[in-house]
Structure 1
């Protein structure tokens, strides 16, 4: 085989693979493919320096990887707001059309798999990253290259992120589980579980054997000059990616509902599992205008399919004590299979809920499971009662420490700060991956340290000694040293990790990052009004923070002095009309609202999401709605976009729009100014 023949053979193999894995339309036999494939392998063995990077032989590595490295996405991967019924759909659509008029919406299946972000540079697949926390995931590039429906090269020279869902076809899932059963291995619970596990195999040969499929659903960072998402996705499919079976651009909530019902009717005919339909504003410029909340894009939502319900029997109710001391009832039910998941437990929320639904031990109940939502009992079949059912008693004493419980109605709490359940669970959470990420400090070790009397509070971790650890069963010198070093490495952690690790009720990673960005490590000095002004923060969250700070002020200070968390570097803005002011932006502007938001923040303003008496200015554009009306009602100063520009122009310290959004020292020059 000559080099030219080799190149032609590689192109032919790629064509065969595209028709087989992407189009589901084979144009040759397996035998013919194998013969040509082995000719290519033979040539590459004799001419290793001539191997093409996108040759099909390069999809599987020879050596297993030792670990997956962390990698950051070029732009954030967001989660979607869930819609469960027509009323919620109407509300979501009306919120957009009220401001932007006749908006169109792209609709497509929501595949139930593992999210993956592909980065192409110079036409080559350079990196594949799992979703992770949306900002940072795991680099699984070698595994992604084994997925035949992911092109190793594309006809596009720029840098671009192509996002999608890695799925396993239902038939392939059944075959995998049959093989695992024969080999005495544990079975995968469902295709999504199998896809996620297969994508994270250290041995790429295992990943290659699982017949994973990549279904693209969106684009991250890019420089495309294509105005609508539907057109951008057509462009993506033309690059060699698989096209979903159903896609449609809708012009109203009625049309969306009709397409949803159509998809729901054929849901079971899809080769892979679906758990709903994704709805996205089609216009990229409107997407930019709508922007994001702290968790979700405002321009996209997941319209979930009805959850699957099964009938089972409530066998018992057990009690769990969380790190905040709340005692939660958990239902133990007769095992029932729901979409490949064996459900044996269900949330009961609280004892008021048990009483309201009149749930009794021994009842026949309908249990609901939707996606990743914790299964819950939605209905009791009271007509099936025999008289042997038992009322669930409200607990009066902690099931762990035996101390008397505080009954506040909906919430029943253990007030004993030394309760083993509270101490152990709070330390486990403190050390977890999403908090301080202390390697090696798992559940069993925390329990052992507490049982030995070495830790009674998270702060005790930082005074542990080698001698103390070596006195424990199973602790050798290397293990002890690694744990001491891992705990010490938590010092100087990122500010948001410190806040998240405190375990404040209702405050997770996203909220912790928002608090840290607004107040740094001194979040506990912020007022109710200041916290409430943060985007995404409601009354319940604010009260939870204030109550935690009130009760645990000394604990926060102690941990802050131990950890010395690092706050984001803030550059003090020069004096200007907006420094220290609370500003709300509403309506359609001549530039994306995020540009104005970033500019205001660079000027030292606090950009809030809602209008209150504490608001200093409301900057408004066309089609300003309820926020404008609220400002008029409260007498808040109103600024048109042009008036806002004039105030900024009068102040020499105001940066240009692109400079306001660029990292310090990046050398980014503005493409345009708000003041052109």
Structure 2
């Protein structure tokens, strides 16, 4: 390799890294990257005086520091004033419109991580400094160099401060904590703490091992003629930074609220932790006219999301037996409000995790609610302990049937198929809204019928008589007749509901619908191979269904005879351009995703969840992210909603 090829190799390797780490759409295999990297490294070892600062070898961690030095920001990193509801947003906008009635706004996600200020001079990364007190922070340049989504060189020769957030994705956070559990290390409380702790490692080799990413959200010192903050943020993408998701230019309150609701709807599914939305006046001259208060800019605010993380105290521990026999420890808590809901119970996952996290009865704990019916306890606050906390003992006998429990590596299970808890939970699921939807047969009624010996299994529901119910306390003729009618209303129900109602492990609502559509009644006799041919079905799902069918032939046969379920075969347009084609959907469309899935499957398409070389079409809405970029790189045909409508009219 000569000097010319050396420079070219740096360019190619940096492009490969950008597509892999920033766009999540690799353009080369790991082997190809490694082969070129080792050639480049060999050249640098032979020519140490010729190493360019943009070389990927300069990302490798340096010798550990004894401490971080302080470094001043050229322009102060301000904190933002918070608004928490539409009324407070209205008040903030009124103050803006009083002097600048034609102001427009840039709305962008407020990421929940560790803020970082990058200084580039002559196109090269010169320093990376944490927010600190806003005036100066800690110099963490060595650590920042290990983050592949931070370019070492940008196509901008003037001095510029680029501000952003260092983050850890939710899935990466889970993997990181799982590894720390395995290594008997303390767990991070949340992705934000994990990102901040990783960024502030004195040994940058440790930072290099953490799955950190950088998402830009603004600039500090900068020489530019651009007068739109929106355009400035858009320009950062051309510098090699990650594209800003959900970025919106809004003209009024209505558009701001639409951008906020879009972001709030995506909060749970988006891979990075979001804290709210930043609302900033777009016009730079107006920003400068409004200026700052002592602690924050007058031209921006943070429209915060409702809180989802709180603390409470564990008052009691109960052991729940699920319909598959798995014992789940659940904490009864001092009531605490999270995201508008009063929380009194939270999952403790499993006993292995309780032991490794050292969670005890009486602990003050951190609770996170991410759309789960029962929120989860993610850590306890050990520093607040006194002598009253009690260790949680792992049960050896089932709390319901007193039979000896099967203790596996992580899970503890009751193997007794006649265990009252297993039967009752199966019946609750069978009658639930997404299963047979038997109105009036909720958990409390199921438990009452079971405890009085009227129902011991699914088939007993169809043997119930009005006089059986009238013998129960508080039951009148109308109530009894309504329940009997609700049970009778399940006759002729859709097949997918029956499949889902059986509570087959790994087979949920979506899988039940696909199975019913693909196989009809034959679903209860198909082979594993046939199931695996359905997009999205893996070996565990196939094996679970086949095992259930084999073990419950008599029950299945009787239920089919009683219910005579309907098989809704979707009419497929075999002459459609989408027939037999793979389609992926991304972005925000005018209707829920399910609406378009139904249309496309009716046209004979297979709707998948991820873009690959086998994808034929990408149906793309607003705020499309990495799937769009990957599809463009792979040459996948991109369709707008209008394009789809034109096909439907053809």
Task: State the TM-score, normalizing by the size of structure 2.
Answer: 0.49
Task: State the TM-score, normalizing by the size of structure 1.
Answer: 0.47
